[in-house]
Chain A
C-alpha cells in the first residue's frame, strides 16, 4: 500500500472539463463522445438482465433511467463540482423538481430565498403547494431569515448562488450552517456561477443543480438540467428523510441509505424520480451540452471580463439609475462576493434605467446586437425586461421584495467584441431618453 512517493494531485478543472466521464469509445475508438441514440440495450442473457434490474450489476437498461451519452455529461459535471455523481434532466426546472420530490412528501416545508428565477418561484409558491409542499420565502440578504422561517416539518433550504435578477449573493457557509443545525440539506441553484466561478460544495452546500441550458451549454441550442449530490449529508443521522432511510416498497423494499450510503439520494432520484416522473435528458441534448462544457473554462473568464467592462460603462452613464452587480462597491453583497466569488460574479446582471417602464421598452427596442429573449448564459448577448416576462406572474409586492422595479433590465453578456456591446447599449440608452 505504499503508493508512489510524490504527493498526488487531482486533474485540473480544464482537463476534467474535456475528459471526465469519457474514455475513448471501446467499440469504435471514437475520441468524441458518441451519441448513443437508443432507447434500450440488449441484454446478453436473462440472468444478466435480471441482475441489471435488481441493481446487482452496473449498466444501462432503458434511456429514461440512464444512457451512455447522458452518463458522460453527468459524470463530467459531478467531477467539476466535486460531487459523488449527478443526474441530467430535461431542464433545470426538472432538476429542481427531482431534488424536492426525492427528499420529501406532502406535508413538508421548504425555506427558500425570495431572489429566485420566476419559474422556480412558480414551482415552489404555487404548484408544489397544490401537492402539499409549502414554501416560506425569505430575503437571502440576512442568513438568519432562513433560521427564523424553520418549522418542524422543514426539509430543505434553497437559494440561488447569485439571486435572479438582483444578484443577491447567497451566503452559503452561513445558510449551510443553519441548515445543518436543523438537520436538513442546503440546495443551491448554481446556474449563474457554474463550477468555474464557484464550487458550492466546498462552501457547505449539500445539493446543487444547474440549468445546463445556460452557461454549461453556452450555445443556446439545448434545454437541460443537471442535479448533483455532494454525498456529504448524512440522511440516516438526520432522521428526517424517510424516502432515503426507510424500506421503499416501490423498489424491493430498498433502504437507499443502507444500500448505498453516499449515493442514496441519487439512487432514489434515478430509480424512482426518473423512472416515475420521467423528466430525463435526451442523448443528443447531452452531447450538445458537452460541447459547451468542454470550453467552459475558456468562455467564463471572457464572459466575466466583458461583463466588467459593460458594468463600468453603465455605472457612469447618465441614463442609468443604478447597476446591480456585486463587484460594484455599492452593491449590498460586495464584500461577500469578494469572499465567495473571487473569480468573478458572472455575466448576468441587472440595471435600472431612468424613466421606468417606458424607457425600458424604448431601450430594448433600440438594441441591435443584444437579443430580446427569455434566456441567459448564451454566447450571444441577451436582454430582457423581468417585470413583463420572467417575473410577470409575481405580484408587485413580490417583485419589490425581489429587488425588481418596472425599469429593471437584465443583461446577459456574451462573447462578442465588448466595445460593440458598449456601443449598442449606448445607442439604445440614448434612444430611451428621447
Chain B
C-alpha cells in the first residue's frame, strides 16, 4: 500500500491484505540498502495469521520515494508518520540491522504506541568501518561487495540456500545495484552516527527480543550484549547457523522465534 508521508510516496507490503483495525499490527523495518522484501517470508506469515503486517520501504528504498533520511531518529519519526497516515494506533516493530535501531528508537520515543520490539542482527554502537563508509561515499561497488560478504555467514557462498535455487550473494548484490547513488552511504552513516542506543534502550518499556546470528560478522552477537542488558527484561535468541542476514539464512528459525515472542504478547496469537 502507498501512503503520502511528508508529501512523498511511502510504500508498505501488506501481504495482499487490507488493514483491519480489529487486528494487531506489526511493522517490519529493513536494514541498510535493502527493502521490504528482505522480510518476505516472515511478513507474509504474519499477514496471513491474524496480523496487519506492514513491511515498509524506507525513504529512497524499494517503492518509497527518496531522498533517504540521514539519521535513525529521523527514520523513527518517519515510521510514526507512516503509521499515522495508515491510521494504525499501536504496533509491534521488527527491525533488522539499521532497522533494529529504528525499532529501538521508536519504542523509546513513543512507548505508548509500541507494544513489542524484535531487534534482529543488531549492535550498539553500530560502527561502520572507514573503508566501508568511504567506498559507499564514493558509490564504489566495493561497498556492495563488503555489504554482501560481511552481510552473510562465512559458509553462505559454499553452503545451500534454504530457499531452493536461490544464490544469496547474487540476490543481495542485485538489490544493492538497484539503489540510487548515495542511498547506501546515507544508511551506513546513519548507523555509524547513532549515539543514543543505551539511553534509548533504558527508556524502552515494552517486551523486547534480540535475534542474533552466531556467525554474524557484520554485527557479532557480542556487540549486541550491552544493548540487550540495557533493555529491561529483554530476551535473546541466538541462531547458531546464521550470519547477519537472518531472514534469508535461517528463515524458519527466525520466524519461529518471532512467532514465540509475539504469541506471548497481548496481541492476536499468530496462527489464530
Contact = CB atoms under 8 A, between A and B. Distances in A.
Contacts of B160: 21-23, 68, 71-72, 75
B35 interface: yes
Given A56-B41, A82-B170, A1 B161 contact: no
A57 B16 contact: no
Interface string A231-274: 11010100000000001000011110011111100100010000
Nearest to B31: A1
Interface string B121-142: 0010011110110000000001
Contacts of B159: 22-23
Interface string B221-233: 0000000000000
A369 to B, nearest CB: 38
Interface stretch (A47-55, A299-307, A356-364, A404-412): A47-55
B177 A232 contact: yes
Interface stretch (A6-14, A94-102, A329-337, A395-403): A6-14
Interface residues of B, number: 55
Given A8-B149, A84-B170, A263-B166, A57 B251 contact: yes
Contacts of B150: 3-4, 8
A8 B123 CA distance: 21
B164 A11 contact: no
Interface stretch (A58-66, A116-124, A169-177, A183-191): A58-66
Nearest to B165: A74
Given A4-B150, A47-B271, A259-B37, A58 B170 contact: no
B63 A236 contact: yes
A56 B44 contact: yes
A57 B171 contact: no
Interface in A67-100: 67-68, 70-72, 74-75, 78-79, 82-88
A20 B157 contact: yes
Contacts of B203: none
A27 interface: no
Nearest to A47: B271
Interface in B44-70: 44-45, 48, 62-63
A8 B218 contact: no
Given A3-B150, A8-B145, A85-B171, A58 B35 contact: no
A2 interface: yes
A270 B159 CA distance: 22
Contacts of B126: 1
A121 to B, nearest CB: 29
Contacts of A87: 165
A74 B164 CA distance: 8
Contact of B146 (A7, A19, A57): A7
Contacts of B234: none
Interface string B142-165: 100110011000010111111111
A15 interface: yes
Nearest to A72: B160
Interface in B248-272: 251-252, 255, 271
A5 interface: yes
A70 B143 CA distance: 32
Contact of A57 (B35, B165, B217, B252): B252
Contacts of A261: 35, 37, 62, 175
Contacts of A67: 164
B116 to A, nearest CB: 20
A87 B129 CA distance: 37
Contacts of B217: 3-4
Given A15-B158, A20-B158, A58-B163, A258 B13 contact: yes
Nearest to A80: B167
A78 B41 contact: no
Chain B CB count within 10 A is highest, among A8, A9, A266, for A8
B242 interface: no
Interface in A86-142: 86-88
A252 B155 contact: no
29 contacts: A1-B129, A3-B129, A3-B132, A4-B217, A5-B131, A8-B149, A9-B149, A22-B160, A55-B44, A56-B42, A57-B251, A58-B251, A59-B252, A70-B164, A78-B166, A79-B157, A82-B170, A85-B163, A86-B165, A232-B178, A236-B63, A247-B16, A254-B16, A258-B37, A261-B35, A261-B37, A261-B62, A262-B175, A263-B37
Given A22-B158, A68-B164, A84-B166, 20 more contacts: A1-B128, A1-B188, A3-B129, A3-B150, A21-B161, A58-B163, A58-B252, A59-B252, A67-B164, A71-B165, A82-B170, A85-B167, A86-B165, A88-B165, A231-B170, A231-B171, A252-B16, A259-B13, A261-B35, A266-B166
Q: Report, nearest first, the 9 A-B pairs whose CB atoms are least far apart.
A: A231-B174, A74-B165, A23-B159, A56-B45, A78-B167, A85-B166, A8-B149, A66-B164, A71-B164
